[in-house]
Structure 1
Amino acid sequence: MARARTPRSAPAPRSRWRRRIVITLQVLIGLAILAFGALVIAVYVARSQLPSFDELKSSPNGQMIRVHAADGSVIASLGPSYGEWLSYDRIPTVMREATIAVEDRRFYDHPGVDPVGILRSFVVNYQRGRRVQGGSTLTQQLARTVFLSNQKRIGRKFREAILALALERKFSKEEILDLYLNKVYYGGGAYGIDAASRKFFGHGAERLSLAEAAVIAGLVKAPSNYSPTADVDAAKGRAGVVLRQMVRGGFITQAQADAADVADLKLSPEPRQNSARYFTDWALPQLDTLIDETQAPLEVWTTLDLGMQRDADAAIRANAPPGVQGALVSLDRDGAVRAMVGGKDYVSSIYNRATQAVRQPGSAFKLFVYLAALEAGHKPEDKIVDEPVTIDGWSPRNDSRRNSGSVTLRTAFAYSLNTVAAKLGQEVGFSTVADMARRFGITTPINTHPAMVLGTSDVRLIDMTRAFASVANKGVAVTPYGITRVTANGQEIYRHEVDRSRVLVAPYVAAEMVDLLQTTVNTGTGRSAQIGRPVAGKTGTTTSLKDGWFLGFSSGLTTGVWMGRDDARPVSGLHGGTAPARAFAAFMKPATANRPIEQFETQVTLPEWQLEPDEEAYFGQPDNGTAMVDEDGNPIAAPSRDDGQQAEDDGVPQAPPTQPQQQLDDLIDRVTGRDAPRDAPPPREVQPDGRRDDRRRDLPPPVRQPLQRPLQDERPIQ
C-alpha cells in the first residue's frame, strides 16, 4: 500500500521578499551607474569649456565698483588690487605649504572633491553643534573664486564640485595651486599673495617669511575677521593655528614653528580712511541680494549726504568723552541713510557700532512701553500713581529715589519715571511690549522679564533709530536703505522702491507718542537736544553708566546716537541727556538748517512740573533710567534710600522748592515759543486747588490739538 506524501510548506513569501530586495538593488545600482555616467559627461563637458591656463591667468581678479554720494560725487572706488603674477617656482615654499596645511591637507591626493574631508567636516560640525569646518578643497575654492559667487545654495555647490573635477582633469596640481595663490581673495581688496604681501607687509610675496606666510594663509577662511588691519590679535592668533597645522602635516618642525615669531611682525601702515567707509562697508554687501551681476564694473549711487556725514563725524568726535566710542545714524523720512558713523576712528577700528554692536538701550526702550500703553487706550493726560512697586521680586526705583504720587503719563515719560513704566508694562503685558518692539524693527532677542521695560535687552542703534523714524512717520514703517540705484555698463540694473504700505500703529497713537517725545526734549531729560526748532526724542542710560543714548527727530530727519566703551565698562558722568544729546544737537542743527521748520501735529504741552520732587530733577542732571539687573540680565531689587524726601503716605507729593521766577519765565518762553517782556514778570496766582499759576497772565496756556480716535474698523494693520 502506497504511503501518502506529506505536502511541504512552500517558501513563497521569502522568495517574494528576496526578489524585491534583488530588484531594488538592481535599480539602485542602475541609477548609480546612470548618475556616475551623467557626472562623467558633465565633468568632461565642463572641461571642454574651461578657458586655458593663460586665459585664466589674464582674467580680471574681481569686480570694480565706484560708489557715489547722494550728490553724485564719488566717495569710494573699490575693486581688486594685485601685484605681480608669481609662477609656481617663484612662490615661496613656505607660502605653498602654509596654504595646503590650513586649507586642504589632502590636496595632492584627491581628484578635486575630497569625500574624506567632507565626511570629516560633517563629523566635526555634528560634534560641535554648529558649522566650524568646511569640506571644500583648494580646487573647489578656486572654482568658486573664478567662476561662481559665494551664495550658499545647493545648486552652486553642485556646480562648484563639477568645475573642480573638470579643473583637475585639465590642469596639473602645480597649475591649480599657482592659479589659486595668485587669484584668491585675501581681504582689503587684495587678490593674490603678492597683493596681500604688499598691502600687509610692504614687500613682494617672494620675500615672505614663515610667519608672514602663516598670516596670509590664515586670511582665506575669513578675510574681514582675520585682516591684520582690522584685528591684529585675531590675525596673529590665526597665524598660530596655521603654524600648528604645518607641524601636524609634517611641513615644518616644532622648532621652526617656535622660531617663527608672529607676535613681532611689523605691519605696513594702513592709508587713512574717512568715516564714510562705515557706510560703504554696511551698504555694499547688500549688492549680493539686490543684483546678480558679479563681473561687469558697477556704478552704485547711495543716499549718503557728505555734508551731513562730516557733521556727524565732527559731532561724535567733539562730544564723546576720552576713551569712549560713539556711533550715529541719521535717517530721512523715507528711510534713506544720510549719515552713519560707526566709531571715532575708522582706521583704528572698522567695527561698525551703528549696525553691528548690540547694547542695552536703557530708558530709550520705554518708547515701546508707552506705544503699547497708548495703543491699549491710554492717553497722555491719564493719571497713574508713581509709587513703590514690586513685580515678581523686582522693585524698580526712580533715578531721584523719590516718588511723586499721582502723575500724568506725560509727566512720567518726560522725567523717565521707572516705576510708572514698570506698572504700564505689567498692565499691558511684557510680551505685548516685546511684540511692539519687534513690530517696530528690533531684530535682536527681547526678554520678557519685568525689567525689560527699562531696556535690559540688547539692541542695535540702527534698529532703534528705525523705530523712532517710524513713529515720526505717523506710524508707517520706515526701512533703512543706503543704495538708490546701480548701473552696469551704462544700463540701470537696480532702483530702490520705497515701501509705504506697512502701518505699524494707528496715526493717532503715533501722534500721541510724538506728544510725549517732544515734551521730553522741551522740559524733561532730553533738554540738551534742543536745536531751536521742534524736536521730539528720548534719552537712555544703562546700569552703572555703561551706555548713553539719545534718539529723536525734527524736520523729517531722525537721528540716533550711542556712546559707551567697547568693553562695556562704566563711564563716569555718561547719561543719555548729556554727551549723546549734545552730539545729537551738534549734528541736527546744521543737518536741518536748510530744511523747512515742521511743526508736530500736537503742540508741546507742559508736564506737571509741580510734581517733580526737587529742583535738581527739573533743572539739573537728566535721569538715566537705570535698569537694575544682574550679570545674567535677570531683574534684581534696587536698594531703597530713605533720605527724608519720600512722598507722603497718602500719595500726595511734597511741594517742590520755590523756583526762581526768571528761570521759570525763561522756560515757559522757550517751551511755548513766545518772546514776552522779562523786565516785569506778572504776579503768580493761587488756583482753587492750592497750586500756583505760573503762566503769564497776558499769554494763553499752550494748547494741545485734539486728536480724533479712529472708528472700530480703522484699527492699525498688524
Structure 2
Amino acid sequence: MARARTPASPWRRRFGLLIKILIGLAVLGTAALALAVYVTRSQLPSFEDLKSSPNGQMIRVHAADGRVIVSMGPSYGQWLSYDTIPAVMRDATISVEDRRFRSHIGVDPIGVARSFKVRFDRGRWVQGGSTITQQLARNVFLNNQKKFGRKFREAILAMAIERKFSKDQILELYLNKVYYGGGAYGIDAASRKFFGHGAENLSLAEAAVIAGLVKAPSNYSPTADAEAAVGRAGVVLDTMVETGVISRGEADSADPQGLKLAPEPKQNSVRYFTDWALPQLDTLIDETQAPLEVWTTLDLGMQKAADAAIRANAPPGTQGALVSLDRDGSVRAMVGGKDYVSSNYNRATQAVRQPGSSFKLFVYLAALEAGHRPEDNVVDEPVTIDGWSPRNDSRHFSGQVTIRTAFAYSINTIAAKLGQEVGFATVADMARRFGITTPVNTHPSMVLGTSDVRVIDMTRAFASVASKGIAVTPYAITRVTSNGQTLYTHEVDRSHVLVAPYVAAEMTDLLQTTVNTGTGRQAQIGRPVAGKTGTTTSTKDGWFLGFSSGLTTGVWMGRDDAKPVAGLHGGSAPARAFAAFMKPATANRPIEEFDTKVTMPDWALDNTEEMYFGEPDNGSFVDPDGNPLPADRIPPDDYYGEPQVAPVPIPDRAPVQAAPGQQLDDLIDRVTGRDRRDPPRDILRDAPRESSGTPRDPYAPSRQAVPRDAYPPRAAPHDPYQDSRPNP
C-alpha cells in the first residue's frame, strides 16, 4: 500500500518560488549584460582610430588685458608599439595597477571585493577596483565623475574592449594614452618630461617612478615632490617582487633616489592662479575636446606687485600668500607662496590656518547686527566662560571703554563678552554667512580665531563688508570661447544681502580705526584704508586683511610646519606686504572715502611694539578642539623667548578736571598715561581748547562722524537662514 505524500510546507513552496524568480532574474540580467556588451563592442572605434585620436585639449589662458599668460595642453611623445615598450615598464604597470590583467574579462570581481573590504575596514574609500581596461575606457570615452552610472558604463565598455582587442593591444593603448601628470600623456611623453629621454630606454627605477604616477599624478610627480615619488616607486618595486617579475636583489639595486631629473621649465606665481582657476572649467562648460580660449580676471601688473610684496616682506624661512579681489569679486592677484617652482602648493586657496584676531570681524558684525554701536560703552574686566579666561595682550584691564576702542586695540576680553552676549553659534553663523567654508567651532575661544580658515575665504568676507554688506563671490573666469563660439560668460550676482548697510558701515568705521591708530598702522597707503590684523598664539601665523578704493586684499604669512616665527605679527610683515601691494595696485584708481569718517578711539596707547604690530592672541591657549588648556599646560609669558615689555597703564576713563595752576603737561600726562617726552610738548601746548578752557586731547579728535540720521532705520536682526543667504 502506497504511503500518502506529505504536502510541502507553504514556506518551502514560497522559498522555492523565490529561488526560481532569482534565477530567472539572473538569467535575464546576464542576457541584458551580454547584449549591452555586444552592442557596445560593435560601436567601438578600430584600434588604428584609437591610436590616432588625441587626449585632452589645448587651452590658452588670457589675462584681463587679453595677453596670453599660459598655454596648456596635452604633451604627446612618440607612439610605442607593444614590442618596443620596455618589458620593465609593462611589468611595473601590470604589477601595481592590475596584477590579474591577463586573466580577467575587463572587470575584476576580486579587486572589487577587495576595495569594498578596505572601505568597510577603514570607513572610507581608500582604493578602487578598476582594472587597466576600465581605466582605459574611462580615459578615452568617459570622465572621472564618481557616480554609479559612470561606473556601470565603464564596466560595460571595459568588457566590450576586452571582446574587441587583445590584451597586448589594450596594454599598448593604455601605456600610450594614460595621463602621467604635468600635461604628459603616455609613457614616452612622461619619460621625456621627467628624465629627458624617450621611453624605449627606461631603466627599472625610471619605469617604477612612471608606473607609480598613475594613481595620483599631482601627488607623486617627481618634480613637485621627489620624496613622495621615490616612496611610491618603492611600492611599485615591492609589488613587482611580489608578483615575481623581478627579484629582491633587482629591486634593491634599482635605486630610485639616484635618478637625475630633467630640468623643469621656469614658472612664476601666475601658475598659482591658473592652477586654481582652470579646474573650474569642469563645472562651467561641457566641452572637453575642442581647443579653448579662457579669459580671466588676472591683472598682470597687480600680480607682479603681489609677488614682489610677498617675496620682499615674508620673513626668512616662512611662506606667504595673498589674494586681492575687486569690488565685484574678480580675482586681480593671487600668490600662493614665495616660489612656485619649489612649491606649487597654493596657500591662498588650499591651506587652512588659524586667523587670530582677524576673526573678530565676525564677532563685531554679530554684535553690531544685534544692536550695538561703535560708541557703546563696554567694560574690560576679567571674564571666565565655561572655564576659559581670556587674557589681554597688554596683560591688564582698562575698565569702561567703547566698542571702537576695544576693536582698535583688539581687546580679547571684550570680544569674549560680546561673543557670549550674542551667542557663539551666532558668531559661527555670521562667519559662514560671509563665506567661511571650513568648519567653525562654537567654543568660547572661537572669538579669538581658533578655527582654521582659508585666505581666500577671509578675503571674501572683508570684501563683502567693503561692498556694504552685499555678498562678494570670488571668480576667476570671465569668458570661455572655442572656435569663435562663446561657451560661457560670467554674470555677477549682487542680490545676496548679508547684513544691513548700516551694519557694514559701522564695521568699516571700526576697521578704519584699526588702521589709523590701532594695530594695523603699517598698512596705511596714503588713502582711506580699513582693515584688521591677526596674530596667532606663539606667532605661528600673521594676517592682515583690508580694503581701499574698491580693492580688498588678504595677506597671510607663516611656516608650512606651523612652527613659531619670532617677531611675526599681523601688524608687521603682513601689513607691510599689504601696503607694498596696495600702493601700486590702487595708484590709478580714484581715492574713495568711506561712508563713515575716521573716528579715533577713546585713548591711544604708547607706541610699544606690541600695540603697533598687534600682539599674538595669548588668550587663545586652547587644544586643537578649541577647549581651554589646564593652567599647568599654559606656557609662561616668556616661553617663546620674546622680549618682555612692562604693561602700559591705561587711564581711568572718568573725566579729569584741571586744578587751578596745574601745568598743562602734567594734566595731559595723567589723562593719557604718556611719558612727558611723548608726544612733543609743542603739540600739547598748541592743542585746541574746548569752550570751558580745558585743552582737548590731540589724540582724541572730534568724534562727529556720520550723523545718526544718516543711517537707515535699524532693521530687525538678519535671519541667517533666509533664502537670500548665499551658499558657501
TM-score > 0.5 by shorter chain: yes
Distance 2:655 2:258 in 1: 68
Shift of 1:648: 8.7
Residue 675 of structure 1 corresponds to which residue in structure 2?
none
* Residue 643 to residue 303, structure 1, CA distance change in 2 (3 Å): closer
For residue 184 of structure 2, give the secondary structure of its aligned residue in structure 1: coil
Shift of 1:123: 0.4
Residue 148 of structure 1 corresponds to which residue in structure 2?
142
Please say if 1:708 is aligned against 2:702: no
Distance 2:717 2:627 in 1: 39
Q: How does 1:609-624 map to 2 (within 5 A)?
A: 609-610=603-604, 612=605, 614-616=606-608, 620-624=612-616
* Aligned-partner residue type, residue 694 of structure 1: D
Please say if 1:625 is aligned against 2:628: no
Counterpart contact for 2:539–2:567, Cα < 8 Å: yes
Please say if 1:197 is aligned against 2:181: no
Shift of 1:679: 9.4
Question: Please, which of 567, 576, 583 is the counterpart of residue 570 of structure 2?
Answer: 576
Residue 153 of structure 2 corresponds to which residue in structure 1?
159
Q: How does 1:205-284 map to 2 (within 5 A)?
A: 205-284=199-278
* Residue 605 to residue 249, structure 1, CA distance change in 2 (3 Å): same
CA RMSD of aligned residues (A): 2.7
Distance 2:279 2:442 in 1: 33
Residue 686 of structure 2 corresponds to which residue in structure 1?
682
Counterpart contact for 2:369–2:717, Cα < 8 Å: no
Q: How does 1:541-620 map to 2 (within 5 A)?
A: 541-610=535-604, 612=605, 614-616=606-608, 620=612
Distance 2:717 2:387 in 1: 39
* Residue 664 to residue 608, structure 1, CA distance change in 2 (3 Å): farther
Please say if 1:329 is aligned against 2:323: yes
Please say if 1:634 is aligned against 2:627: yes
* Aligned-partner residue type, residue 236 of structure 2: V
Please say if 1:131 is aligned against 2:125: yes
Distance 2:646 2:67 in 1: 61
* Residue 560 to residue 627, structure 1, CA distance change in 2 (3 Å): farther
Q: How does 1:90-489 map to 2 (within 5 A)?
A: 90-489=84-483
Counterpart contact for 2:400–2:653, Cα < 8 Å: no
Residue 12 of structure 2 corresponds to which residue in structure 1?
18
Question: Structure 1, unaligned stretches of length 5 or more?
Answer: 1-7, 666-677
Shift of 1:508: 1.1
* Aligned-partner residue type, residue 616 of structure 2: N
Shift of 1:364: 0.4
Task: State, as a whole percentage, how many aligned pairs show the same letter.
Answer: 72
Shift of 1:650: 11
* Residue 644 to residue 535, structure 1, CA distance change in 2 (3 Å): closer
Distance 1:161 1:522 in 2: 64
Per mean C-alpha deviation after superposition, the further-off stretch among 466-475 and 496-505 is 496-505
For residue 411 of structure 1, give the secondary structure of its aligned residue in structure 2: helix
Distance 2:195 2:651 in 1: 71
For residue 243 of structure 1, give the secondary structure of its aligned residue in structure 2: helix
Shift of 1:618: 8.8
Residue 670 of structure 1 corresponds to which residue in structure 2?
none
Distance 1:684 1:178 in 2: 88
Counterpart contact for 1:456–1:629, Cα < 8 Å: no
Distance 1:679 1:648 in 2: 20
Question: Please, which of 55, 78, 88 is the counterpart of residue 49 of structure 2?
Answer: 55
* Aligned-partner residue type, residue 682 of structure 1: D
Counterpart contact for 2:456–2:554, Cα < 8 Å: yes
Distance 1:190 1:362 in 2: 42
* Aligned-partner residue type, residue 132 of structure 1: V
Question: Please, which of 693, 698, 717 is the counterpart of residue 696 of structure 2?
Answer: 693
CA deviation string 1:20-71 (max 9, x = no partner): 3333322222222222112111111111111111111111121111111111
Shift of 1:101: 0.8
Distance 1:651 1:432 in 2: 34
Please say if 1:658 is aligned against 2:674: yes
* Residue 623 to residue 512, structure 1, CA distance change in 2 (3 Å): same
Distance 2:81 2:479 in 1: 41
For residue 592 of structure 2, give the secondary structure of its aligned residue in structure 1: coil
Counterpart contact for 2:394–2:647, Cα < 8 Å: no
Residue 674 of structure 1 corresponds to which residue in structure 2?
none
Shift of 1:629: 2.0
Shift of 1:310: 0.6
Residue 668 of structure 1 corresponds to which residue in structure 2?
none
CA deviation string 1:461-485 (max 9, x = no partner): 0010011111111111111111111
* Aligned-partner residue type, residue 23 of structure 2: I
Counterpart contact for 1:406–1:651, Cα < 8 Å: no
CA deviation string 1:447-499 (max 9, x = no partner): 22211111111110001001111111111111111111111222111111222
Distance 1:620 1:438 in 2: 30
CA deviation string 1:585-631 (max 9, x = no partner): 11111111111211111111111125x4x442797443333443245
CA deviation string 1:92-131 (max 9, x = no partner): 1111111111110110010101111100111012111111
Shift of 1:17: 3.1
Distance 1:374 1:382 in 2: 10
* Aligned-partner residue type, residue 538 of structure 2: S
* Residue 176 to residue 618, structure 1, CA distance change in 2 (3 Å): closer
Distance 2:585 2:79 in 1: 48
Shift of 1:422: 1.1
Q: So what's the TM-score if we normalise by structure 2? A: 0.90
Please say if 1:540 is aligned against 2:534: yes
* Aligned-partner residue type, residue 595 of structure 1: R
Shift of 1:708: 2.6
Counterpart contact for 1:536–1:554, Cα < 8 Å: yes
Distance 1:357 1:572 in 2: 21
Shift of 1:386: 1.1
Counterpart contact for 1:455–1:627, Cα < 8 Å: no
For residue 492 of structure 1, give the secondary structure of its aligned residue in structure 2: strand
Counterpart contact for 1:602–1:705, Cα < 8 Å: no
* Aligned-partner residue type, residue 300 of structure 1: V
Distance 1:164 1:619 in 2: 66
For residue 693 of structure 1, give the secondary structure of its aligned residue in structure 2: coil
For residue 672 of structure 2, give the secondary structure of its aligned residue in structure 1: coil
* Residue 57 to residue 133, structure 1, CA distance change in 2 (3 Å): same
* Residue 228 to residue 705, structure 1, CA distance change in 2 (3 Å): farther
For residue 133 of structure 2, give the secondary structure of its aligned residue in structure 1: helix
Question: Please, which of 34, 45, 49 is the counterpart of residue 40 of structure 1?
Answer: 34
Distance 1:650 1:657 in 2: 11
Distance 2:257 2:168 in 1: 32
Question: Structure 2, unaligned stretches of length 5 or more?
Answer: 638-643, 657-669
* Residue 446 to residue 691, structure 1, CA distance change in 2 (3 Å): farther
Distance 1:72 1:214 in 2: 42
* Residue 305 to residue 657, structure 1, CA distance change in 2 (3 Å): same
